[in-house]
Structure 1
Amino acid sequence: MRAKRSIDKMEKKKDVAGLIEMLRRNDWTLRRKAATALEKVGAPAVEAVIIALEDENRYVRRMAALILGTIRDRRAVEPLIAVLGDQDTNVRRCAAESLGKLKDKRAIEPLVLALREEKDSVRWIIALALQKLGGEKEVDSLMGALEDSQDVRENEVEGNTDNIL
């Protein structure tokens, strides 16, 4: 309870460094609350959250990628593109999701290249991000890369890619 109140105070003071530190906590609820606070701080938090994309803790990297997608600041595009190569599957997934939210055309080519991803769950998020960014060339690449994935084909049938197909 005390830590949650501390997060509220940090948010009011826009204590970005303190909120980033709270992302390192073991308690998932505290990490989520700190992430929400950073999202509310918005643009003033972007630089620190970008730095957090390189944190040694994969949970911090995941949260940072998601926070940047919520804030939707264009300064995050290149750092999120770099994170598409992270060793953690969920960090890559979160980066792709956020790039889709940012809707910046600079992300198209890196996302197309990222379709080589082995994990279907990540490729599916990449597909959705590309859907948001649009473009015939990207759709063709997307369809070719997804042909071999049973899970992705099933999702297509369910209508999740209506705008692509």
Structure 2
Amino acid sequence: MNYIQDMRQLIGSNLLMTVGCGIIIEQDGQILLQHRKDRDVWGIPGGVMEPGGTFLETAVRETYEETGLRTENLQLFGLYSGEEGYPEYQNGDQVYSVQIIFHTQEFSAELMQEGDESHEHRFFKPDELPKINSHQERFVNDWVNKASLPIVK
């Protein structure tokens, strides 16, 4: 079991505050996105921090688990909070998620296509993006618009 599952047993679907960490992986001006299995949307790799973890450890671990890539030389891309931090979950679980997003162009290993959470992974040009997870649109839009870093919202 993990922290989120443990908390859900205690509080049901009531509001739970989480910290999410992800990485914008860029190659040749393209962004790596994963096609999620739980919803028909695309987003950046990442996941929820477990108690005692660090932002960097969480981002690197989750990205490796989801993509098979080992990432290096991560730079802070942005800190995201506010009203957009309430993702919608089909099972009724309520969450307020603060997001810490990193950026890198340095990675190694072979890109895994299908995993537990995703159908596939693919690099996209900024003007050819698929349907993005609404909770992650602001990260991706900030990348497309080349916002000044780090972003604090």
Instruction: Give the shorter-chain TM-score range.
Output: under 0.3
More relative contact order, 1 or 2 (CA 8 Å, 6+ apart):
2
Name whichever structure is richer in strand by fraction: 2
* TM-score normalized by the length of structure 2: 0.27
Higher CA-based Rg: 1
TM-score normalised by L of structure 1: 0.26
The structure where helix makes up a greater share of residues is 1
